[in-house]
Amino acid sequence: MDTISAFVTLLLVMDPVGNVPVFLSVLKDVDARRRQWVIFRELLIALLVLFIFLFAGPSLLAVLGLQQESISIAGAIILFLIALRMIFPSPYGMMGDTPEGEPFIVPLAIPLVAGPSSLAIAMLMVNTDPDRMLDWSVALIGAWAVSAVLLMASPLLLKALGNRGLIAMERLMGMILVIIAVQMFFDGVREFLHIPL
């Protein structure tokens, strides 16, 4: 894998375009003046988590006695719960009873930007060629930067869609996230049990 293919792979699994409806849904109750700051903060947290897994992921999992598949299964469960809240909204909003209704780390930073797939790919790149950390870092920063630009522009879509459009997109994205979460769960279980495709 070269730097360009690593960049493209990371960008695809971060899926910024697919994450835009979820960002809009989670942030719809956040004050418009704070929205950009919240997105930027969550993106920085995601970048930090990605770099931790890039440089120390395999060691961290070994110290905690965890297997890589557990990241996939845990991420699937979190995504499934988020999806259910999107399809069947709570009167307390997407994030429940949180200060100012703001998300913090979950679900925007983790698992949407720094999700199980991107964390696993970061660790896979290091395992494949540990001597090319500069290349992997450049690919990671590049993919994150493109994702950041697209996600920072997501509030503009909120104005364009309006409330009804956002509700319709939220329900549709919730259904898609349920399917993705179930697939992630099965992938994690299959890898854990070493079942071939």
pLDDT digits (tens, 9 = 90+) for 52-72: 999 988 787 778 887 777 777
Cα–Cα distance between 7 and 28 in angstroms, integer?
Answer: 30
Give the largest Cα separation in the chain, rounded.
51
pLDDT digits (tens, 9 = 90+) for 117-130: 788 778 878 877 88
Query: What letter represents residue 157's amino acid?
Result: L
Q: What is the 3-state secondary structure (H, E, C) of 17-69?
A: HHHHHHHHHHHCCCCHHHHHHHHHHHHHHHHHHHHHHHHHHHHHHHHHCCCHH
For 76, residues 6+ apart whose C-beta sits below 8 A from its C-beta are: 116, 181, 182, 183, 184, 185, 188
Other Cβ atoms closer than 10 A to 49: 21
**Local structure of 138: helix, strand or coil:** helix
Q: What is the pLDDT of residue 101?
A: 63
Q: What is the pLDDT of residue 92?
A: 56
What is the pTM for the complete model shown? 0.71
What residue ranges of the chain have pLDDT lower than 50? 95, 97
**Shortest CA distance to 110 belongs to which of 102, 101, 119?**
119
What does 111-122 look like in DSSP terms, one character per residue?
A: IIIS-HHHHHHH
Q: What is the pLDDT of residue 167?
A: 74
